[in-house]
């Protein structure tokens, strides 16, 4: 209660290696959702009690009000923990697309939830459609090349050019190695 | 709201702070293990997680006391020798918690105290991270807070990258084809 179970969920997530995914803890997730429901029921009970006593909801500050406030805050806290859990896992899945490619490896497949699989597929599809429209594959060459020079053949006579470290004479059909 | 999804922030806010309730609250007896009926009495001393204590403080419902990791005993220990104090067992989110608690309890000295502790320990962290031996000083690692551990890991990884670079030879290896430059014109 009061967000302890949800914090436990997040602590388990934080003990993972960065970039690795553990299996989706559906039991803990459902438990936290049940706690949220319990808090909500208590909250409604408090508010009904205050209404029955005929007190003004906006301004009274009695014991029931504070009890309701505490339940409300616990509910928001649980929500935040659940959102953070799902969000951080989604980030890892996103990075997996760039590292591993369009198909998830088998051991990762077992660990992800159904909705996470859908997320991966949709993200992948969006990426593919963008890349096919631009006709460029963004996922190759993730590390910058070690060798900074490229081979260049000149098509038109340009003459002397001053680059940052060399000043070649770019005559037609000559080949140079430039940065 | 950049820290809404941040896991460290959420776990940090779960640290317990001891508070004194200024009002009674119904239906929340689970917070106070000593409560007989299902409510918290006015004037009851309860240990609340930081997120709850912070919100209730904003509504003037609780009075927050100094957490034990910032009390006189810890301060004296840090003044004696900052680097050897086991902050991880007291509170592994020492610095973050200090920053957040300071406005709640109205203590102006916490800021300078945190800075003093951090500068004293940072020297140790850096020197240990740059020294050669590998699984060295595991005992030392158990004294560090989360933030310091992250700094330590970062320094370690940059040291290994540096060593690898030194052993590996010149950074840009020109491909063999570049050796003969084609004559221009």
Q: Which CATH architecture has domain B69-165?
A: Up-down Bundle (1.20)
Whether A25 and A105 map to the same domain: the answer is yes
Q: Which residues of B touch A81 (CB under 8 A)?
A: 10
Q: What is the pLDDT of residue B1?
A: 46
Give pLDDT tens digits for A63-80. Answer: 778 888 888 888 889 898
Give how far B83 is from chain A: nearest CA, Å: 26
Which token pair is A146?
């070690």
A150/A129 same-domain check: no
Instruction: Using a CB–CB cutoff of 8 Å, tell me whether B179 touches chain A.
Output: no
Range A96-113 average pLDDT: 80
Answer whether B62 touches A (CB < 8 Å). no
Q: What average pLDDT does the segment A7-12 reach?
A: 84
Using CA atoms, how far apart are residues A77 and A6, in angstroms rounded to an integer? 8
> In chain B, which segments carry CATH 3.40.5.50?
1-65
pTM of the model: 0.76
Tell me if A40 is assigned to some domain: yes
pLDDT interval class at B177 (50, 70, 90): very low
A169/B184 CB distance under 8 A: yes
pLDDT band at B173 (very low <50, low <70, confident <90, very high): low
> Which of B10, B30, B175 is the closest to A1 by Cβ?
B30
Report the share of chain A in percent with pLDDT over 70. 92
Mean pLDDT over the full length of chain B: 76
Rounded to two decimals, the ipTM of the complex is 0.75
Give the pLDDT confidence of B82-119 residue by residue, as tens digits. Answer: 777 777 777 778 888 888 887 777 777 888 888 888 88
Would you say residue B185 has pLDDT above 70? no
Q: Clarify whether residues A38 and A78 are in a common domain.
A: yes
Nearest by Cα to A39 from A83, A1, A4, A85: A1
Residues paired with A150 in a beta bridge: A178
Gap between the Cα atoms of A65 and A61, Å rounded: 6
Question: Do B27 and A67 form a contact (C-beta atoms < 8 A)?
Answer: yes
Q: Which of A45-54, B26-35, B123-132 has the lowest mean pLDDT?
A: B26-35
* CA–CA dist A39, A158 (Å, integer): 76
What residues of chain B lie within 8 A of the CB of A148, using their CB? 172
User: What are the residues of chain A with a beta carbon less than 8 Å away from any beta carbon of chain B?
Assistant: 1-4, 7, 10-11, 13-14, 42, 45-46, 61, 63-64, 66-71, 73-74, 77, 80-81, 83-84, 87-88, 146-149, 168-171, 174-177
Q: A10 vs B31: CB contact, 8 Å cut-off?
A: no
Q: Who among B7, B14, B23 is closest to A88 (CB)? A: B7
> Is B14 in the A-facing interface, judged by CB distances under 8 Å?
yes
Using pLDDT thresholds of 50, 70 and 90, give the confidence band for residue B35: low
Pull the structure tokens for residue A160: 């002397």
A125/A152 same-domain check: no
Task: Quote the domain boundaries for residue A173.
Answer: 145-179
Quote the pLDDT of residue B172.
Answer: 57
d(CA A94, CA A96): 5
Comparing alpha-carbon positions, the chain B residue that sits nearest to A41 is B27
Pick from A50-64, B5-19, B162-176 the range whose average pLDDT is largest: B5-19
- Same domain membership, residue A77 and residue A150: no
Query: Which one of A70, A144, A148, A163 makes the best mutation probe of the B interface by having the most chain B beta carbons within 10 Å?
Result: A70
Min Cα separation B130/chain A (Å): 23
Asked if residue A156 and residue A118 are part of one domain, the reply reads: no
* Residue A107 shares a structural domain with residue A27: yes
User: Mutate which of B14, B53, B170, B179 to test chain A, going by most A C-beta atoms within 10 A?
Assistant: B14
Q: Same domain, yes or no, for A152 and A123?
A: no
A140 located within any domain: no
Q: Distance from B17 to chain A by nearest Cα, in Å?
A: 14
Assess B35–A contact: CB distance below 8 Å, yes or no. no
Contact check, Cβ <8 Å, A168/B184? yes
Q: A147–B52: do the CB atoms touch at under 8 Å? A: no
Q: Which CATH class is domain B1-65?
A: alpha beta
Read off the pLDDT of residues B111-167 as tens digits, 9 standing for 90 and up: 888 888 888 888 887 877 777 555 555 667 777 888 888 888 888 888 888 888 778
C-beta atoms surrounding B48 within 10 Å: 22
Asked whether residue A83 carries a pLDDT value surpassing 80, the answer given is yes
Q: Render A114-160 in DSSP notation, one character per residue.
A: HHHHHHHHHHHHHHHHHHHHHT--TTS--SPPS---EEEE--S--EE
Q: CATH 1.20.58.2050: which residues of chain B?
A: 69-165
Nearest CA to B19 out of B28, B50, A1, B1 is that of B50
When pLDDT is averaged across residues A76-91 and rounded to a whole number, the result is 89
Please indicate whether, in this complex, the C-beta atoms of A46 and B5 are within 8 angstroms of each other.
no
Q: Do both A128 and A175 map to the same domain?
A: no
Indicate the number of domains in chain A. Answer: 2
* Among the partner residues A13, A63, A84, nearest to B26 by beta-carbon distance: A63
pLDDT, tens digit, 9 for 90 and up, residues A24-41: 888 888 888 888 888 888
Which of B7, B26, B56 is facing A13, going by the closest CB pair?
B7
What pLDDT score was predicted for residue B132? 53
Q: Could you tell me the CATH number of the domain that includes residue A54?
A: 1.20.58.1030
For A44, nearest residue in chain B (alpha carbons): B27
Q: What does B85-108 look like in DSSP terms, one character per residue?
A: --HHHH-TTHHHHHHHHHHHHT-T
């Amino acid at each position: 209660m009061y967000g302890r179970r949800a914090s436990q969920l997040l602590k388990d997530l934080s003990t993972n290696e960065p970039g690795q995914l553990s299996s989706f803890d559906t039991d803990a997730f459902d438990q936290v959702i049940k706690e949220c429901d319990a808090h909500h029921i208590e909250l409604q009970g408090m508010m009904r009690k205050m209404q029955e006593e005929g007190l003004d909801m906006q301004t009274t500050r009695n014991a029931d009000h504070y009890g309701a406030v505490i339940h409300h805050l616990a509910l928001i806290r649980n929500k935040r923990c659940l959102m953070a859990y799902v969000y951080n896992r989604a980030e890892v899945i996103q990075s997996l697309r760039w590292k591993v490619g369009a198909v998830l490896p088998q051991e990762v497949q077992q660990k992800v939830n159904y909705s996470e699989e859908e997320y991966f597929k949709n993200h992948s599809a969006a990426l593919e459609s963008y890349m096919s429209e631009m006709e460029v594959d963004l996922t190759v060459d993730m590390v910058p090349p070690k060798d900074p020079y490229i081979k260049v053949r000149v098509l038109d006579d340009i003459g002397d050019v001053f680059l940052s470290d060399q000043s070649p004479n770019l005559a037609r059909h000559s080949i140079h190695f430039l940065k | 709201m950049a820290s809404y999804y941040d896991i460290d922030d959420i776990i940090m806010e779960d640290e317990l702070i001891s508070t004194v309730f200024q009002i009674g609250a119904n239906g929340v007896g689970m917070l106070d293990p000593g409560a007989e009926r299902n409510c918290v009495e006015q004037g009851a001393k309860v240990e609340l997680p930081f997120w709850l204590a912070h919100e209730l403080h904003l509504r003037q419902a609780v009075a927050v006391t100094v957490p034990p990791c910032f009390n006189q005993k810890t301060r004296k220990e840090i003044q004696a020798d900052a680097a050897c104090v086991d902050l991880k067992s007291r509170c592994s989110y020492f610095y973050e918690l200090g920053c957040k608690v300071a406005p709640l309890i109205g203590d102006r000295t916490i800021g300078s105290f945190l800075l003093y502790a951090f500068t004293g320990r940072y020297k140790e962290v850096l020197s240990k991270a740059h020294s050669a031996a590998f699984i060295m000083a595991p005992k030392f690692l158990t004294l560090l807070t989360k933030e310091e551990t992250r700094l330590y890991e970062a320094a370690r990884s940059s040291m290994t990258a540096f060593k690898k670079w030194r052993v590996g030879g010149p950074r840009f290896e020109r491909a063999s084809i570049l050796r003969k430059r084609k004559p221009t014109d």
